[in-house]
Structure 1
Amino acid sequence: MMENLHEPPQPGPSQLAGPMAQGLGRGAPPQPQQLPPQMFTTAAQLLDLTDKKLLVCLRDGRKLTGVLRSWDQFANLVLQSTIERIYATTSDPAETQPKGLYADQSHGIFLVRGENVLLLGEIDLDKDDDPPPGFEKAEFGVVEKLAKERRAVERAKEKNKLKKLATLGFEGENMGEILL
């Protein structure tokens, strides 16, 4: 006889020797149907994404694409043929609109700790070869330099904003670092 492992077994007549058989119970309420335990773990959700090309956005802002080859219960990922893509914009006074640039750097096999993953999703292979809309491919060194300059400007703005807030009596995260 085959049993369904997802439904609780139904008691037979010989198993009703407790309060039900003595007439003390009015019948147990129906048990809610239980989902398989793997439905509750994030790592098990990766099973469908194994051997597929993914975009992984990390907490530090990096964007990686690669084929998911392995993972564990902590959602640590092993990506094969990994490429890091960086984006930057140029502010040329001759142009009315900033120009977007991107560059790719190959990393090969890449191990990503699960706690660093901000977002991940499957890549549409039909659109994978198309450049991002509004961006042109450029040399990695040029784009990396522009991106670093942009981050430095943003950090300086954030530091100034936090200093102004501190003078108004607001305290937030990392305020000790700003004031030192």
Structure 2
Amino acid sequence: MVYLRDGRTLIGYLRSVDQFANLVLHRTIERIHVGTRYGDIDRGVFVIRGENVVLLGEIDDTKEGAATLEKVSIEEILEAQRVEQERRQEQEQLRARFMKERGLQYTAEIGPDDMY
């Protein structure tokens, strides 16, 4: 499993790594989490530049089966992700308006979705 700087989680078979932590994953899936639900999107062979890797680890299959997450279809998880992003944007706009009304400058924190 690889967690990237932009917030994505990739799961696959590690086929290659070099001195710069560049990775090649085989049979890769991108796992999207929203609340207690998740969905998997097949990505195939994935080459990852080392500077984008935040965390790399091995998945314990025995513990993964015991998780309380519900697997849903790709369409459902993408829709849930879109709704969640819209909700966050609305909250940021409300915070900015609230701060502006009080004469303060508001700068939103940079999150994984805003990095690129």
TM-score under structure 1 length normalisation:
0.52
Higher relative contact order (CA closer than 8 Å, sequence separation 6+) = 2
Q: Of 36, 50, 68, which aligns to 2:14? A: 68
- Map 1:35-114 onto structure 2 (within 5 A): 55-89=1-35, 100-114=36-50
Q: Which structure has the larger Rg over C-alpha atoms? A: 1
Unaligned runs of at least 5 residues, structure 2 = 110-116
In structure 2, the CA distance between the partners of 1:77 and 1:165, relative to structure 1 (3 Å rule), is farther
State the percentage of identical aligned residues: 40
Between Structure 1 and Structure 2, which shows a larger proportion of strand residues? 2
The alignment covers a number of residue pairs equal to: 108
- Map 1:1-180 onto structure 2 (within 5 A): 55-89=1-35, 100-128=36-64, 130=65, 132-133=67-68, 135-167=69-101, 168-170=103-105, 172=107
Unaligned runs of at least 5 residues, structure 1 = 1-54, 90-99, 175-180
1:149-173 CA-to-partner distances (Å, cap 9, x unmatched) read 1011112212331343345333536
Between Structure 1 and Structure 2, which shows a larger proportion of helix residues? 2
* Runs of 4+ with >6 A deviation: none
CA RMSD of aligned residues (A): 2.2
